[in-house]
Amino acid sequence: MGLLARRSRIATKRNLPLNPQTSGYIGEFLTYVLEPLLPEILGNGTKVITNAGGLDPVGLKELIEKYLHKTGHDEVKVAAVWGDDLISRRHELSSENAFRPFEPLNGLSTPESIFCKTDNLLSLNAYLGAEPIIRALDSGAQIIVTGRVVDSALVLAPLAFTYNWTLSPTSPHLDKIASASLAGHIIECGAQCTGGNFTDWRDGAFSSYGGWSNMGYPIVEFNQDGTFIVSKPRRTGGVVHKLSVTEQMLYEVLDPANYLLPDVNLDLSRVQVEEVGIDRVRISGARGRPPTSWLKCTAIKQEGYRIEGALVIPGFEARQKAQILGEALIRRANTILKRIKLDNISEYRIETPGAEEMFGYSCASSY
């Protein structure tokens, strides 16, 4: 469920993870990213910022520190950004009207539900912005692990740190903050802006240097004036052109003139997207307004179970046979559920891949 939470009661609250022993982080970040790249990272003095901390950023920080100690790199400073986890404070905050449903299309859409005190929430997290990451950079951290933050903050933070921008509703740098946030938004989905999940997908799939099998991930070259170039490594697959970048720019922003982020209200309505070379696109014209007094949140609650199964149905009239078999399995499952005094399957879907069923499947709730 989507929620908004009052910034003043949440962003400044420092809650440690409820159960630091639970591995709610992405441990593969260490094994598949940090370990093989550590010599280059240390040799170049590269600073690394990742949101792989998930639900337990402190836990991932400690895991990384143990690895650094084992490999003789105790001098590397690791920081964790936390405070986004609100699960322990939900009763306190909900009683003070600190949350409200998120209505992203100004009343034109169905409002998302808000949680009740009796709901069995599995998680409740606010999307934090760049400010705590900047504090970590100020402290001299070389590796920074975050929990729930907006993806754009991972790019905005090092730029604001480098250029000494102030992040506040009265900041004189709002347009540059907006542009840096847009840069983060464009590259946040990786190869989606280099021709991956793209309407003209063949441009990327059959591009030079291996196409999708050797996909190039995006690079941002940010200028002090707030403009930036999107590119990708040489001799890699994929494409970077006006259409691929613009599709990602408009991805999930809802209102292009009011993309609500914790650091800035981003206005994309006057953005210019120009091709300035092969696989090089220049972005300019982002405008920023003060952020709202709310932070977006996400809440997850337990509401039943879901199971998936697959069978291969060959032979003559395979589609009809598969459909009838699927319905029979549902009826049989409901018979067993009734026998053990459980509710029927509340919703189900039967698909027959190969028969283009995905473009017009039917869904039933009960018999």
Does 12 have pLDDT greater than 70? Answer: no
Residue 308 within any structural domain of the chain = no
Residue 268 within any structural domain of the chain = yes
- Distance between CA atoms of 237 and 267, rounded to whole angstroms? 31
- Distance between CA atoms of 269 and 266, rounded to whole angstroms? 9
Residue 337 within any structural domain of the chain = yes
Residues 268 and 149 in one domain: yes
Residues 279 and 330 in one domain: no
Whole-structure pTM over 0.75, yes or no? yes
Residues 342 and 247 in one domain: no
Structural domain boundaries, residue 326: 318-364
List the single range of 10-19, 89-98, 299-308, 324-333 with lowest mean pLDDT.
10-19
Residues 6 or more apart whose Cβ sits within 8 Å of residue 339 = none
Residues 261 and 358 in one domain: no
Does 346 have pLDDT greater than 70? Answer: yes
Residues 56 and 169 in one domain: yes
Give the CA dihedral 232, 236, 241, 245, nearest 10 degrees: -60
Residues 343 and 250 in one domain: no
Does 356 have pLDDT greater than 70? Answer: no
The pLDDT of residue 300 is 86
Q: pLDDT tens for residues 214-247?
A: 999 999 999 999 999 999 999 999 999 999 999 9
Q: pLDDT tens for residues 166-185?
A: 999 999 999 999 999 999 99
Residues 83 and 155 in one domain: yes
Residues 9 and 36 in one domain: yes
- Structural domain ending residue among the three candidates 299, 328, 356: 299
- Structural domain ending residue among the three candidates 299, 332, 352: 299
Q: How many domains, the chain?
A: 2
Residue 305 within any structural domain of the chain = no
Strand order across the beta sheet in which 48-50 lies: 48-50, 143-146, 78-81
Residue 304 within any structural domain of the chain = no
What average pLDDT does this structure show over 180-209? 94
